Structure 1
Amino acid sequence: MGKRANGEGTVYQRKDGRWTAAITVGQGKRKYLYFATQKEAVKAIREVNNLKDQGVMLASKDQAVAFFLETWLQDTAQPRLRPKTYIRYQRYIYQQIIPTLGNIKLQQLMPQHLQKLYNGELKKGYAPQTVKHVHRVLHRALHDALRWGLVARNVCDAVDPPYVPRKEMQVLNAGQAKHFLHTTQGDPLEALYVLALTTGMRQGELLGLKWEDLSFETKRLQVRRTVSRIGKMGFVVSEPKTVKGRRNISFTDLALEALQHHKIRQHELRLKAGADWKEQGWVFCNQRGNPLEAGNVLRRSFKPLLNKAGLTGYPLPRSTA
């Protein structure tokens, strides 16, 4: 059986059960890709034709790694990624991968090239975890190149990324947590720290809370978004990465009391700001109603409170229970 798919290309099933995507890649040449399912084959044709429409030279043996990665990042990766992740990919590709591998022909890329890249980055002082992230970005890009028939294999599969020693996360024990909360009493962000310790919510989730997400009657809240500041893009609001991340959480009487006091304090700030207040519904905001920047919370609030409590070197507190 055969099937046409959004432009040039044919999908048919082989006698061995596999599905073939036959694609015209230039000058009448045909490229054959093989998949386990019809859906995968059709998807491959659509992706390849989309790249062809954008001018990507799929059949060129002279296509350099730099050209491929730049095109892949802009046209394929960016629509899939969160803004913060895209910026990180961009940094890895332009600052670390392209300077070393950019001039190599994509089809001539060898495991030795990758090993040289990783060793060189480690010698420059980059952490093993950072170099491992570089490996993951390359693997993801070359995975797509393999699916599109641009390379015969993903050379990342033949190279081991640097070993990353596991670090034991420091968390507050029960006594330290109680002492820390005592220190935060009366602080403008007391409710944030109470929620962090009693619910285990992440920093971006806490800063992304809106009053509409909370119910004082049922003592429950919904995690619906995260908020973070990303360079020139400013504050970016995102949905949780997974369905599991979008969840309902019960909160304690202690958190309820802290949130009630926090709402009263925020109302007083709103009255004081007058016309300068920008009502956006954030539970935790600055003196004008705008979202809080995570870096400022850590530097100007959390670390001073840690020092005041005689505790240092801990991340934003989360539940140890």
Structure 2
Amino acid sequence: MKKQRNANGEGSIHQRKSGIHEGKWVSQITIGTDPDTGKPKRKTFYGKTRLEVKAKMKGAMKELEKGIDLQAQSKLTFGEWLITRMDNYKKMEARLATWENYQRSVKNHIYPELGNIPLGNLNTNDIQKLYNKMKTNKSASATIRRNHQIINSCLGQAIKNRLISWNPATAVTLPKLETKQIKAMTKDEMSAFIDSIETEILRAAFLTLLGTGLRLGEVLGLRWQDIDFRKKTINIVQALVRTKSKGLIMENPKTEKSKRLLPIPNEIAVAIQLHRMKQGKIKRHAKENYVNNDLIFCTNSGKRIAENQ
């Protein structure tokens, strides 16, 4: 069949007579120049009808007009761009524990399902199928939303880098967050609990948790320099977290708002002062075996306490 030249000079559209694409319609457009040879780089479009190919070709032309780098896009799968984005952009801003959570999400969910799809071909249905599969496999809504956060930000960066013109993750439907009803202790239960920890060496830590609403990691990250007994305040500037690569580490709070100065009730201030006296005796007994990390709550050798201890 004779090739039909488009009036706007986009290129020819013709039907293949042999090969693996026999019977299909095909056309090409120039998307850039090979930096090594200086020769034009072309993108090929296939379709069952001439109109299908023409529509694909016009879509690509519009992308080029918007400044999209189709040459760079054609070399990338979504998985390759995902790894690039994580390593070159996200890693520098994420805390270690957060980074490790991101890596698990990419390894266990995102890459196996979406990694081999060409970046320019990834669509909303592909992403939605991943979330639906996770939901079917009993993944928590928060886990699905964390995966979405990674995918959405990755594609958002691709737009900034002129690799795509639209983010298909913006059109998905996300599961509602499950709200778990938290049962608070009654006054009698609270009194019984406080009585049960009367001789507990970390009694002050439990009272601090109960009386301030701090997270466990924040309490275990408290240092003596963070507490002002005269003003009865504590300054939250770090938290103890467990990481896979480095074990227990101290990290800054997730956000600037998480850094805060809190008042502490007099009863808790007294309990912490008594705890300091007990800690002093432990230090003197341990002598050089005690590692002074300035931690309010620590092991008998001054080391960090794991949250599950």
TM-score (norm 2): 0.75
Corresponding residue of 1:104:
117
Name which of structure 1's ranges 204-213 and 156-165 shifts more when overlaid on structure 2. Answer: 156-165
Q: Alignment partner for residue 205 of structure 1, among 207, 212, 218?
A: 218
Amino acid at match of 2:129: K
Alpha-carbon distance change, 169 to 193 in structure 1, aligned in 2, over 3 angstroms: same
Q: Tell me if 1:126 matches 2:139.
A: yes
The 4+ residue runs of structure 1 with deviation greater than 4 A are 24-34
SS at match of 2:303: coil
Provide, for residues 251-282 of structure 1, a one-character-per-residue CA deviation record: whole Å limited to 9, x for no partner: 12211221122111111221222221111100
Unaligned runs of at least 5 residues, structure 1: 1-23, 35-56, 297-321
Corresponding residue of 1:51:
none
Corresponding residue of 1:92:
105
Superposed displacement of residue 33, structure 1: 7.1
SS at match of 1:236: strand
CA contact (8 A) 1:208 1:227 kept: yes
User: Where in structure 2 are the equivalents of 1:13-32 lying within 5 Å?
Assistant: 27=35
Quote the sequence identity (%). 26
Name which of structure 1's ranges 225-234 and 282-291 shifts more when overlaid on structure 2. Answer: 225-234
CA contact (8 A) 2:73 2:164 kept: no
Name which of structure 1's ranges 161-170 and 213-222 shifts more when overlaid on structure 2. Answer: 161-170
* Partners of 2:33 and 2:170 in 1: CA distance: 26
Provide, for residues 176-210 of structure 1, a one-character-per-residue CA deviation record: whole Å limited to 9, x for no partner: 32332222112111101111111111212111100
CA contact (8 A) 2:135 2:141 kept: yes
Alpha-carbon distance change, 220 to 108 in structure 1, aligned in 2, over 3 angstroms: same
For the pair shown, which has the larger CA radius of gyration, 1 or 2?
2
Alpha-carbon distance change, 71 to 226 in structure 1, aligned in 2, over 3 angstroms: same
1 or 2 for the larger relative contact order (CA 8 Å, sep ≥6)?
Answer: 1
Superposed displacement of residue 126, structure 1: 2.0
Amino acid at match of 1:218: K
Superposed displacement of residue 58, structure 1: 7.5
**How many pairs align?**
252
User: Where in structure 2 are the equivalents of 1:272-283 lying within 5 Å?
Assistant: 272-283=285-296
Cα root mean square deviation, aligned: 2.6
Alpha-carbon distance change, 119 to 269 in structure 1, aligned in 2, over 3 angstroms: same
Corresponding residue of 2:96:
83
CA contact (8 A) 1:64 1:104 kept: yes
Q: Alignment partner for residue 298 of structure 2, among 254, 262, 285?
A: 285
* Partners of 1:188 and 1:182 in 2: CA distance: 13
Superposed displacement of residue 221, structure 1: 1.5
Amino acid at match of 1:273: A
* Partners of 2:194 and 2:142 in 1: CA distance: 33
Provide, for residues 47-85 of structure 1, a one-character-per-residue CA deviation record: whole Å limited to 9, x for no partner: xxxxxxxxxx98231300111111111111111111111
Q: Tell me if 1:67 matches 2:97.
A: no
SS at match of 2:189: helix
Corresponding residue of 1:196:
209
Q: Tell me if 1:159 matches 2:172.
A: yes
CA contact (8 A) 1:25 1:59 kept: no
Name which of structure 1's ranges 135-144 and 163-172 shifts more when overlaid on structure 2. Answer: 163-172
